[in-house]
Amino acid sequence: MKLAIALFAVVALQAQVTVEKAPFHGWSDAVLLKNSVAVVVIVPSIGRVMNFSFLDKSGQPTEGPLWNNRMMDGKAVEPASQQWGNFGGDKSWPELQADWPTIEKRGWPPPTGFDASVDTVEINGTEVTLTTPVDPSYGIREHRVISLDKSAAVMTITTTYEKVTGEPVKTGIWTITQLISPENVYAEIPAKSVFADGYSNLSPAPLFELSKEADRVRVRRDPAKSTKMGTDGNWLLWTGPDQSLKIERISTPPDGEWPDKGTRLNVYTNPDRGGQPYVEMEVMGAMQVMKVGDKASSSNRYTLTKQ
């Protein structure tokens, strides 16, 4: 009986999440969620999740699949800049990008409240919530609740848009995860796809090394040019030499128009030029008209696996 109690105590001790603050690549405000096998690194001052990885034997973060632009280490966001501060990591933008010139009065970089803000951070037990200021163009405040499973390498992020000021606006929640150059990226093709081929090419040129399987399409990163494709599925899978990352939509989307020819998942691949060989796994959201007082939410689950 004593042995059983002792073993239960050990298991209970291992199956828990801790929260700590520590520097991360030049940012002093990073918040770390840790369990016995994995860690999530959140940097409020740039509004991003910057690392999701396994722990090494000493309990320190290893190199995970999320791409970080090391040229931006320790730098601050610059809302007034006309150049995009491409830090990497995981974030959210409002759809449609084609509407930004009308709503934001510029087509690029992305809306400042979503992409170039210093977020407030709230720690509630083992959940971390990032909250942006109200974006001046969309009148929307973004909340992101980030949690880590007690014992597995599984992260969940719930993104909520809250319409606070201004005229009604039609938008949706678009989550973007930048990842290091993979061996392959897969996007789910549902059993009854709206696309004849199961996917839609969102690039002006043919896609690079694309192939179809029973329930998915496989994409390779083109080293020479940027590409983008989409499906109407609910999960994406990144594979590297020794680990994989699956991103799944786990919330039920509202009825509404889907962006980018009706796609629900997008895969963007960046070329080698500029020394930024990354890909983006993007979970799209249904478009809906938001007026003051409205809220919209979307939840994704991120599962890291050793190959």
- Do 202 and 301 form a contact (C-beta atoms < 8 A)? no
100-105's contacts with Cβ under 8 Å and 24+ in sequence apart are 103/137, 103/138, 103/169, 104/137, 104/138, 105/137
Residue 244's domain comprises 2-77+86-306
Of the listed ranges 68-72, 136-140, 149-153, 203-207, the least confidently predicted one is 203-207
Is a pLDDT exceeding 90 seen at residue 114?
yes
Residue with tokens 């050990």: 10
210-232 residues labelled b (16+ CB within 10 A) or e (exposed): beeeeebbbbbbbeeeebbbbbb
Q: Please choose, from the candidates 224, 232, 188, the residue with its C-alpha nearest in 3D space to the C-alpha of residue 203.
A: 224
- Do 134 and 141 form a contact (C-beta atoms < 8 A)? yes
- Do 272 and 223 form a contact (C-beta atoms < 8 A)? yes
Distances from the Cα of 68 to the Cα of 23, 45, 180, 262, angstroms = 15, 15, 8, 30
Confidence of residue 14 (pLDDT cuts 50, 70, 90): low
Confidence of residue 3 (pLDDT cuts 50, 70, 90): very low
- Do 108 and 114 form a contact (C-beta atoms < 8 A)? no
Total domain count for the chain?
Answer: 1
pTM summary value: 0.94
140-185 pLDDT tens trace:
999 999 999 999 999 999 999 999 999 999 999 999 999 999 999 9
76-86 pLDDT tens trace:
999 999 999 99
User: Quick one: tokens of 79?
Assistant: 């809302």
- CB count within 10 Å of CB 23 equals 10
What CATH number is associated with residue 122? 2.70.98.10
Is a pLDDT exceeding 80 seen at residue 26?
yes
177-188 pLDDT tens trace:
999 999 999 999
